[in-house]
């Protein structure tokens, strides 16, 4: 299963990614890495503000972000929100096996889609 727009070249994809990185640098004062973006998305999906969060909660937020991102391609769906307001997801179909480079590319693609939908 391919998540890439067949009309989008590698150069166009990279340009979209670097534009997002530049936007994030302007917004937060530094360029985020993938983990920081996952944490940001998790906090946004939780909808309870910026914290403070424990290390375990930050890991949970990154998990929420990953599930949310892969829900965009039908791999997960939000099942319920618990009494503390934390969303829980259900796996619908496994994410295809990929090399580390392919996994990173897949995450980047989903992150771009997420922020496109947020605008």
pLDDT tens-digit series, residues 1-60? 344 555 778 898 999 999 999 999 998 899 889 999 999 999 999 998 887 999 999 999
Q: Which helix (H) or strand (E) element contains residue 43?
A: helix 34-46
Helix, strand or coil for residue 5? coil
Cα distance between residue 76 and residue 95, in whole Å:
9
What letter would DSSP give residue 21?
H
**Whole-model pTM?**
0.85
Cα distance between residue 79 and residue 95, in whole Å:
18
Residue 2: the pLDDT is 42
pLDDT band at 116; cut points 50, 70, 90: confident
Contacts of 61 (CB under 8 A, 6+ apart): 38, 39, 42, 43, 45, 46, 53
Average pLDDT over residues 59-84: 95
């Amino acid at each position: 299963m391919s998540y890439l727009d067949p009309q989008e070249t590698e150069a166009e994809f990279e340009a979209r990614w670097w534009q997002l990185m530049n936007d994030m640098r302007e917004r937060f004062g530094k360029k985020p890495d993938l983990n920081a973006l996952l944490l940001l998305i998790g906090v946004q999906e939780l909808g309870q503000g910026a914290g403070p969060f424990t290390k375990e909660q930050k890991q949970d937020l990154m998990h929420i972000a990953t599930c949310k991102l892969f829900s965009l391609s039908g791999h997960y769906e939000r099942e319920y929100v618990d009494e503390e307001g934390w969303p829980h997801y259900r796996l619908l179909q496994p994410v295809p096996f990929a090399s580390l480079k392919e996994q990173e590319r897949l995450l980047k693609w989903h992150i771009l889609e997420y922020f496109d939908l947020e605008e």
